[in-house]
């Protein structure tokens, strides 16, 4: 185990070093900042090839309509959870027999707040553009991602009261540094740290899905009594009339989280690589039209649809220090690699 842990951390560090080394000798072109059409403030965007204000406004309007609907229903579903116990999914921590199972309701609520923060960030983009002023709202989008990662790494809930001061310190640090840094360092700093969370979400959502699939097939990581997770008798007509809820193939609803996170990163990659292309910017905004409805639909399935099992369970993977370090370093390396692709 010690050898495997050291190897995982070492490979992550080597990958990060190689990515950083790829920047050596690069003299990137620093684009001239464009002024936002409504306010005249300097933005983090350059003059874009093929810019069309009508297309941009139509894309942003479509984006915001979907985010408004996603926010409304996500908040409605998450903050009015069902009373039927069969509809409530529970987190189980792999490798911790003494851990108490945690309902996913708080996680769903944080996910719904994440959608709302993204909506606010999008509205602010339309009003003032992407730049220093936008950071005060945009950082809340990243703070929600940070909260989601901490919850998944802590058994499905925030366990320490120290988390909230840490979250506040993160928000203050990012906001103040972006205000003080000169262009392009403010834009690179904000984008880089945001990409770290974006990549980490893909990794963590995928880990939860894979771990849950494996543990359900093996009979439970905690070796507890999973006889209750026997598939209901499909030939029993009485069983079918006991529930009026749709039935899903649990736990494949977790794929919505993975797909949503992948779309979000894909939009970032496209606009990072083709940062002077107006079509790439539209592609970035369109990625939000897939990501956040996916998250909202996941919340609906998590709280309103039954499973073929009497209880819906998610198994959270173990997070020893070396796994946390490896994932963090790998996410940083992937963030730098994304930026390197656009240099």
Give pLDDT tens digits for 19-58: 999 988 887 778 889 999 889 899 999 999 999 999 999 9
The number of domains in the chain is: 1
User: Rounded distance, CA 305 to CA 299, Å?
Assistant: 10
CB 116 within 8 A of CB 71: yes
Asked, for residue 293, whether it belongs to a domain, the answer is: yes
Asked, for residue 18, whether it belongs to a domain, the answer is: no
Q: Which residue has the higher pLDDT, 89 or 247?
A: 89
CB 50 within 8 A of CB 279: yes
Residues in Cβ contact with 118 at an 8 Å cutoff, skipping those fewer than 6 apart: 67, 141, 144, 288, 292
Res 178 pLDDT > 50 = yes
CB 181 within 8 A of CB 189: yes
Q: Place 169 in a pLDDT band, splitting at 50, 70 and 90.
A: very high
Cis peptide before 184 (omega within 30 of 0): yes
User: Rounded distance, CA 143 to CA 194, Å?
Assistant: 9
Q: Place 233 in a pLDDT band, splitting at 50, 70 and 90.
A: very low
User: Domain range holding 249?
Assistant: 52-233+244-341
Asked, for residue 99, whether it belongs to a domain, the answer is: yes
Q: Give 78-120 pLDDT, tens digit per residue.
A: 999 888 888 889 999 987 766 788 999 999 999 999 999 999 9
Q: Place 220 in a pLDDT band, splitting at 50, 70 and 90.
A: low
Average pLDDT over residues 307-324: 87
Asked, for residue 45, whether it belongs to a domain, the answer is: no
- Cα–Cα distances (Å) from 206 to 85, 134, 258, 278, in that order, read 26, 31, 6, 32
Asked, for residue 34, whether it belongs to a domain, the answer is: no
Residues in Cβ contact with 113 at an 8 Å cutoff, skipping those fewer than 6 apart: 144
Asked, for residue 32, whether it belongs to a domain, the answer is: no
Strand extents, DSSP E, 32-94: 33-35, 42-46, 89-93
Q: Give 261-291 pLDDT, tens digit per residue.
A: 999 999 999 999 998 999 999 999 999 999 9
Q: What mean pLDDT, rounded, does the chain reach?
A: 88
Asked, for residue 172, whether it belongs to a domain, the answer is: yes
Asked, for residue 111, whether it belongs to a domain, the answer is: yes
């Amino acid at each position: 185990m010690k050898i495997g842990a050291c190897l995982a951390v070492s490979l992550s560090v080597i990958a990060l070093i190689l990515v950083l080394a790829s920047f050596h000798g690069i003299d990137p072109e620093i684009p001239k900042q464009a002024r936002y059409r409504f306010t005249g403030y300097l933005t983090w965007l350059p003059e874009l090839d093929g810019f069309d204000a009508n297309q941009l406004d139509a894309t942003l309007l479509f984006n915001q309509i979907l985010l408004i609907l996603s926010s409304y229903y996500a908040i409605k579903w998450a903050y009015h959870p069902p009373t039927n116990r069969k509809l409530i999914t529970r987190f189980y921590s792999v490798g911790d027999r003494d851990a108490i199972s945690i309902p996913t309701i708080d996680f769903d609520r944080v996910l719904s707040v994440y959608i709302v923060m993204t909506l606010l960030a999008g509205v602010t983009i339309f009003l003032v553009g992407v730049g220093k002023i936008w950071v005060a709202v945009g950082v809340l989008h990243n703070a929600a991602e940070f909260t989601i990662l901490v919850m998944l790494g802590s058994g499905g809930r925030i366990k320490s009261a120290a988390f909230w001061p840490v979250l506040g310190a993160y928000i203050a640090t990012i906001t103040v540094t972006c205000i003080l840094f000169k262009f392009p360092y403010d834009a690179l700093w904000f984008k880089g740290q945001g990409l770290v969370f974006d990549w980490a979400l893909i990794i963590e959502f995928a880990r939860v899905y894979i771990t849950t699939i494996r543990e359900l097939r093996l009979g439970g990581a905690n070796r507890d009594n999973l006889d209750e997770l026997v598939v209901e008798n499909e030939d029993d007509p009485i069983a079918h009339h006991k529930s009026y809820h749709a039935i899903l193939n649990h736990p494949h609803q977790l794929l919505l989280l993975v797909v949503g996170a992948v779309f979000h990163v894909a939009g970032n990659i496209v606009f990072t690589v083709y940062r002077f292309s107006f079509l790439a910017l539209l592609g970035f905004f369109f990625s939000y039209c897939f990501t956040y409805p996916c998250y909202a639909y996941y919340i609906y399935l998590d709280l309103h649809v039954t499973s073929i099992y009497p209880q819906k369970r998610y198994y959270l993977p173990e997070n020893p220090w070396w796994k946390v370090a490896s994932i963090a370093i790998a996410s940083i390396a992937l963030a730098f690699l994304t930026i390197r692709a656009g240099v």
